[in-house]
């Protein structure tokens, strides 16, 4: 494997990771609407490099339960702290209204971990999905949620809203997970969450996960992660380059070139994933609607049927 070693700073970042400064009327309209409604997006909080492209095509990933996570993963730019049980009761309605204004047909919603709440915030997630569906009939919902410390009860509260896609990220390979993620998250638990989502759903939900490369993982470890995800029934996968948000976060070990992402994407497809997006700038929610529709086309082509969520 060709390795492009990373330096101590963002200086020298390879050309394939350079993106344009976000601009455009639609981008600023969405930004203004989100600020007015006091809504957070993972696009901004996680410094996603695709924010301009996505917002200008009216795609945004809402981040609910506030902007403060109770966990402190060493790769993540979302601020950490203890919200002490705080919730915004207007958030579900505001998310639904914003989706309506953007005329979304497919919405991606993620969350901060809320270990300060007895249910981890599951009921609030469910209320938000319900509000989305009531305000936007026919809308499809992809949820990127936490592990709720492995609580099946919390998972079932969310699955009762019948999201089309239930996503949870393993983030990295097994060996690196303790160094990369908060101590309350772990590789085995994340795989179990993904498997149980399928088992508990009561309908054929699609499951999805994500891997970051460039943290020092080896080729056999990446392939093992792909095998582990498939063994736990995961349908959809995104693979992207880890980029250090600040000097307080984990350093990038290598810049993985586009041809290697292509290799891993092709290998993942041979292992049976219904959809794979693998490129340096790919993130969990990148082109999520297209990704979902492509997977559905494959399912229909193979004469399987997944009912539309109510």
Alpha helices in 113-180 (DSSP H): 122-135, 152-159, 177-180
Is the pLDDT confidence value at 2 over 70? no
Q: pLDDT: is 297 or 273 the higher one?
A: 273
Quote the pLDDT of residue 78. 87
- Ranges 21-30, 54-63, 217-226, 241-250, most confident: 217-226
Lowest mean pLDDT among 145-159, 210-224, 272-286: 272-286
pTM score, two decimals? 0.85
Residue range 240-245: average pLDDT? 92
Instruction: Tell me the three state secondary structure of residue 235.
Output: coil
**Cα 107 versus chain centre, distance:** 12
Which residue in the block uniquely carries the two structure tokens 């990373």?
6
pLDDT tens-digit series, residues 230-241: 999 999 999 999
pLDDT band, residue 186 (cuts 50/70/90): very high
Burial of 85 (0-12, 13-18, 19+ CB in 10 A): exposed
Confidence of residue 1 (pLDDT cuts 50, 70, 90): very low
Q: Do 102 and 135 contact (CB within 8 A), yes or no?
A: no
Per DSSP, the three-state class of 166 is strand
Of 131, 107, 130, 127, nearest in space to 119 by CA: 127
Query: What pLDDT band is residue 7 in, cutting at 50, 70 and 90?
Result: very low
Tell me the domain boundaries of the chain. Answer: 25-301
- What is the Cα–Cα distance from 112 to 73, expressed in whole angstroms? 11
| Residues sharing a CB contact under 8 Å with residue 207, sequence separation 6 or more, in sequence order | 165, 166, 167, 168, 194, 197, 198, 233, 234, 235, 236
**Alpha-carbon span 231 to 273, nearest angstrom:** 11
Alpha-carbon distance of 254 to 94, in angstroms, equals: 40
What order do you get walking across the sheet with 106-111 strand by strand? Answer: 40-41, 61-64, 106-111, 140-144, 165-167, 206-213, 236-241, 275-278
Structural contact between residues 143 and 164, judged by C-beta atoms closer than 8 angstroms: no
pLDDT tens-place string over residues 39-84: 555 455 445 555 555 555 555 678 899 989 999 999 998 889 999 9
* Topology of domain 25-301, CATH: TIM Barrel (3.20.20)
Beta carbons within 8 Å of 225's beta carbon, 6+ residues apart: 170, 172, 173, 174, 211
- CA 286/CA 283 separation, integer angstroms: 5
Closest CA to 252 of 188, 310, 172, 187: 172
Q: Is the pLDDT of residue 8 over 80?
A: no
Work out the pLDDT band at 213, boundaries 50, 70, 90: very high
Instruction: List, as one string, the DSSP characters of 10-79.
Output: STT--GGG--PPP-SHHHHHHHHHHHHTT-EEHHHHTT-TTHHHHHHTT--EEEES-S-BS---TT--S-
Rounded to 5°, angle at Cα 207 from 198 and 138: 100
């Amino acid at each position: 494997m060709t390795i492009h070693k990373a330096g101590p700073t963002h200086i020298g970042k390879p050309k394939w990771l350079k993106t344009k400064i976000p601009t455009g009327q639609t981008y600023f309209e969405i930004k203004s609407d989100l600020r007015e409604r006091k809504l957070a997006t993972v696009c901004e909080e996680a410094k996603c490099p695709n924010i301009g492209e996505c917002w200008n095509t009216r795609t945004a990933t809402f981040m609910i339960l506030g902007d403060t996570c109770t966990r402190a993963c060493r790769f993540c730019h979302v601020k950490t702290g203890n919200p002490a049980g705080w919730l915004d009761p207007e958030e579900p309605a505001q998310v639904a209204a914003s989706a309506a204004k953007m005329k979304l047909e497919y919405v991606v919603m993620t969350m901060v971990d809320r270990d300060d709440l007895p249910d981890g915030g599951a009921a609030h997630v469910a209320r938000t999905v319900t509000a989305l569906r009531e305000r936007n009939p026919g809308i499809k919902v992809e949820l990127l949620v936490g592990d709720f410390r492995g609580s099946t009860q919390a998972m079932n509260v969310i699955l009762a809203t019948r999201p089309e896609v239930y996503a949870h990220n393993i983030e990295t390979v097994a060996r690196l997970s303790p160094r990369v993620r908060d101590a309350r998250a772990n590789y085995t638990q994340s795989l179990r969450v993904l498997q149980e989502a399928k088992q508990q759903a009561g309908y054929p939900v699609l499951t999805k996960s994500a891997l970051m490369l460039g943290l020092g993982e080896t080729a056999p470890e990446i392939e093992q992660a792909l095998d582990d995800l498939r063994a736990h029934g995961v349908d959809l996968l995104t693979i992207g380059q880890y980029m250090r948000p600040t000097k307080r976060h984990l350093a990038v070990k290598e810049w993985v070139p586009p041809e290697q992402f292509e290799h891993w994407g092709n290998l993942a497809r041979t292992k049976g994933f219904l959809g794979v997006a693998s490129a340096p700038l790919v993130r969990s929610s990148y082109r999520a609607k297209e990704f979902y529709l492509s997977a559905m086309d494959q399912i229909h082509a193979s004469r399987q049927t997944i009912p539309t969520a109510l």
